[in-house]
Chains A and B, each alone.
Chain A
Amino acid sequence: MDFSISLTINGVERRITFDDPRVTLLDLFRERLHLTGTKKGCDRGQCGACTILVDGRRINSCLALALSHDGASITTIEGLAKDDQLHPVQAAFIENDGFQCGFCTPGQIMSAVGLIAEGHAGTDPERVREGMSGNLCRCGAYAGITKAVIEAQKSAGEARTGEAA
């Protein structure tokens, strides 16, 4: 049996048909749409590597069934930069060396964009660390991540976040 859903992915509306109700958003992107920027680190919502924005909110895409997101508007790491212009969070991650191996990085960045949009953390390092603690980094790039989020937060007074990013 085929299923058909409509998703707006990185600003582009797509009609997507697939034959299996078990497909998660993560596997839909990675294996069927070949949008492989979003990573699979645990497949059970424990590491945050698969974080994406759904209707502006950060979620673990490994725990989200594609079928239950008909009509959703989704931003992945591939959709963050606009017109060759990096999103402030992306630029801040490079500048502050907020990654090493880079595997958790798409999830960290999407989580940071979500956190900034939530507006709870501000530029308080403790709150940023807490708000980013759903995203594991085994290389231990946390100091750079925290600095990057704070820097992006500061420069993002004017920058738009979430879906509009």
Chain B
Amino acid sequence: MSDIPTLSAGSHQRHGSNIGQPLTRRDGLLKVTGGARYAADNNPDGLLHAVLAVASIARGRVTHLDVEAAKAHPGVVDVMVPGNRPALASDPDEKSNPFMFRLDLLQNDRVRYAGQPIAVVIAETFEAATEGARLLAPTYETEQARTGLEGEPFAPEKVGAGNAARAQSGDVEAELAGSARTLEAVYETPAQYHNAMEPHAVVAHWQGDRLVIDTPSQGLAMAVMRVAGLFGLTPDKILVRSPFLGGGFGSKGFLSSAQILGILAAKLVDRPVKLALTRPQMFGPVGHRAPTRQTLRIGLGQDGKLTAIDHATLTASSTFDDFFEPASDISHTLYAAPAIRTSHEAVRVDTGTPLFMRAPGEATGSIALESAIDEAAETAGLDPLEFRLKNYAEAEPISGLPFSSKALRECYEQGAARFGWADRPREPRTMRDENGLLVGWGMGTATFPALMFEAEARAVIRADGSGVMETGAHDMGQGAWTALAQIAADAIGLDLTRVTFNAGSSDLPNAGIAGGSGHTATAGMALHKAGEAVIAKLADLATEDEASPLFGADNVGVIARDGKLLRRDDESRGEAFGDILKRAGLSNIEARGKAGGDNAAREHYAMHAHGAVFAEVKIDPDLCQIRTTRLVGAFAAGRIINPRLVESQLFGGMIWGVSFALHEEGIQDKRSGRIVNGDFGEYHVPVNADVPSLEAILVHEEDQLVNLLGIKGVGEIGITGTGGAIANAIWHATGKRLRRFPIRPADLLG
């Protein structure tokens, strides 16, 4: 841990417990001074620089690389190609579990997508490596790329993280046939690329038979296992350090080909190597959100109640691996109807394999479903909020399970009140601002499952009364360094200033993955359990010791607060942690804790966070320029550990919703199969000026069933609901239903 900067506690006012306090980020000081060390900031002695050469075709074979020219360039040390790539202990194309994605590690000359690594140039300097990669001047045998969603569709068995690809309740066709009104609409969403600000990077350092890797990871324990399998090492020989990720959004959940190639390059030249992707290289080998074409068929009764929802998704995966965007699954959870059916089909295209990307399935499905629900409300002649309340799901549709908690009504109520929804005219194209711009108001429902994974943590209390709490958690910006430390401090009854919190390294207990909005709940529960265990040990010492004021208190129990154990029935009697340990002759005491989903509760309850998002857009009637001018979201996501950070997370998600509705689109050239807009100049993400006035209301919600701490997670829910709310606001402003995302000014012209 010595290479990881020590985090000092930020200044804060403490009011009772640490949980719930809006503390500023504990890593804030490092981040505003340039002191936070990201992977590519490491410069070990003897470091060489590696640059990837990637394929400029999408399908075919590399026929020639001018390795001699590259090697002749001053400073170039070596060029790694299929012929000299160090041997691996397992096949990069092996897939022994669904989360083991196939890698491109120069195993042959085949090209299966544009941007695939085809060589690595290693040089004394970054400049020489870059020039060396250019000098390789690859030639290819090219085959016609397969792109788009027009290929032969097939029906995968599983989608997303292993969900059944098809589900239904009731008889959709019969309900549709018997409905007073039906509507059918097709929505299209584009390929999107995660584009964390930090391009994937690795600094790999072989130290004898030991391997030290600095690389951003949302799943340190999985990363170790992947490297162990590929290199034939035991996990104890591998150290992965990832104290800070410059964003992840799902793209850093699994080690990518590029990161493994950096390790291979270091092995080839027997020196430490740094390899960082260029921005254009972020549009190929590190995953993306697959495009979808979603067909929604909706049935309505005379009373404005839904009779049927049929949600069918067509998506794309790569030609060589499986990941299927589970867009239809959103219809499992939101609106009640006697018949619901969800299904997925896919085609195979010549791209890198798509992957989990912030709210995988939920984001894509939500923008389609929320648009369709808005169209249904219009068809039913009802206000969109009234329509949603009329079709409110009291139990989870399809499964029929009760919700562990669901404060969605309160979200609708508080969000609508704050936004001023009651003043909305039902007819479209009826509002103008003082400058003559068209004004539209739209809304969408937000939802995301409350997931938990397996994790472990370690708790130590020292004789000086301080504590150490640790788990290999990941901070990709969500605030793990702060929120988890708050949970950790409360778990052992200490002020945050008395607790050293360690995270971000694979030599710590496995914190699971930072994904599925489940990291705070998962790692937090592990810390909570570890704290509980160490306090129980300490309590045993005290209650069995005649010299302790707590002697014999084992029946009534003790509580830990402010560094002391106190009798539960008489808090005036207690003893400081340090005193207990010193008398027992111990310098410290430690324990471990484990967390995982409570499977019993999960069998009987549906667990989701919910929210309601209200959007205002303004549109120039002549130029059709679209601006999102106001967004109000109200979210119920169980216990909020740190409201300051949670608000930021929700804002970030909502901005992704703006991006989904209006900005992001990866465009694949039909002839070459290349992504033609693969950089930040052409692949548009919102800039500061695109972002309106944002409000996020944290709606109170208690849930004893999701986990002991009542945490549901907030990382992804903000993107759901928001995209649809904006699309619906555009309809309200203009009277035009646009079903292809992102919506562009050109779509409104003519």
Contact = CB atoms under 8 A, between A and B. Distances in A.
B247 A103 contact: yes
B38 interface: yes
A122 interface: no
A46 B280 CA distance: 12
A42 B682 CA distance: 12
Contacts of B653: 140
B648 A138 contact: no
Nearest to A37: B34
B353 interface: no
Interface string B670-712: 0000000001110001111111001000000000000000000
Contact of B688 (A43, A102, A145): A145
A78 B33 contact: yes
A153 B247 CA distance: 28
Do most interface residues of chain A lie in helix, strand or loop, or is the interface mixed?
A: loop
A49 B34 CA distance: 12
B648 A141 contact: yes
B245 A101 contact: yes
A129 B33 CA distance: 22
B652 A100 contact: yes
Contacts of B380: none
Contact of B246 (A30, A46, A102): A102
Given A44-B279, A133-B687, A139 B38 contact: no
Q: How large is the interface on B (under 10, 10 to 19, 20 to 34, 35 or more residues)?
A: 35 or more
A136 interface: yes
Contacts of A15: none
A138 B197 contact: yes
Contact of B648 (A47, A94, A100, A106): A100
Interface in A117-165: 126, 128-130, 132-146
B35 A139 contact: no
A22 B129 CA distance: 12
B197 A36 contact: no
Contacts of B475: 101
Contacts, number: 184
B590 interface: no
A48 B40 CA distance: 17
B630 to A, nearest CB: 12
Contacts of B685: 136, 138
Nearest to B34: A37
A68 to B, nearest CB: 15
B27 A36 contact: no
A78 B34 contact: yes
B197 A143 contact: no
A135 B685 CA distance: 11
23 contacts: A22-B127, A40-B40, A40-B276, A43-B279, A80-B33, A90-B32, A90-B33, A99-B31, A99-B477, A100-B477, A100-B478, A100-B479, A101-B196, A105-B32, A129-B688, A132-B689, A136-B680, A139-B197, A140-B691, A141-B652, A142-B688, A143-B691, A143-B694
Indicate the member of B34, B37, B691 with the most A CB atoms within 10 Å.
B34
A63 B8 CA distance: 35
A16 interface: no
Given A39-B197, A47-B279, A95-B24, 4 more contacts: A31-B126, A136-B197, A137-B688, A142-B655
B10 interface: yes
Indicate the member of A30, A80, A136 with the most B CB atoms within 10 Å.
A136
Contacts of A35: 34
A25 B689 CA distance: 28
A138 B688 contact: no
B38 A97 contact: no
Interface string B639-655: 00000110111011111
Interface string A9-32: 000000000001011000100110
Given A41-B197, A46-B681, A141-B648, A31 B32 contact: no
Nearest to B655: A140
A78 B31 CA distance: 11
Contacts of A139: 197, 247, 477, 648, 652
Contacts of B648: 97, 100, 139, 141, 144
A76 interface: yes
A46 B688 contact: no
Contact of B197 (A103, A132, A134): A103
A7 to B, nearest CB: 17
A135 to B, nearest CB: 7
A59 interface: no
Contact of B691 (A27, A41, A47, A129): A129
Nearest to A126: B689
Contacts of B689: 126, 129-130, 132-133
Given A97-B644, A129-B689, A144-B648, A138 B196 contact: yes
A102 B127 contact: no
Given A90-B32, A100-B479, A140 B197 contact: no
Contacts of A43: 278-279
Contacts of B75: 20
A36 B32 contact: no
Contacts of B478: 100
A38 B40 CA distance: 11
Contact of A41 (B49, B199, B686): B199
Contacts of B479: 100
Contacts of A140: 651-656, 686, 691
A101 to B, nearest CB: 3
A31 B444 CA distance: 47
A114 to B, nearest CB: 14
Contact of B680 (A23, A36, A47, A100): A47
B505 interface: no
B28 interface: yes
Nearest to A78: B34
A138 B688 CA distance: 10
Interface string B14-35: 0000000000110111111111
Nearest to B682: A46
Contacts of B690: 133
A103 B687 contact: no
Enumerate the 10 nearest inter-chain pairs by beta-carbon distance, A residue then B residue, closest first: A37-B34, A103-B246, A101-B477, A100-B477, A140-B655, A102-B31, A140-B652, A36-B41, A77-B34, A46-B680
A132 B198 CA distance: 19
Interface string B162-204: 0000000000000000000000000000000001111100000
Contacts of B49: 31
A27 B49 CA distance: 12
A54 to B, nearest CB: 17
Given A22-B127, A97-B648, A136-B687, A44 B244 contact: no
Nearest to B35: A37
Contacts of B196: 101, 103, 138
B688 A93 contact: no
A159 to B, nearest CB: 15
Contacts of A78: 33-34
A106 B656 CA distance: 22
A79 to B, nearest CB: 9
B132 to A, nearest CB: 12
Interface in B648-671: 648-649, 651-656
B43 interface: yes
B726 to A, nearest CB: 15
A108 B620 CA distance: 30
A138 B126 contact: no
Given A36-B43, A94-B10, A136-B685, A49 B32 contact: no
B197 A94 contact: no
A116 interface: no
B33 A81 contact: yes
Given A31-B49, A138-B249, A44 B679 contact: yes
A53 interface: no
B198 A101 contact: yes
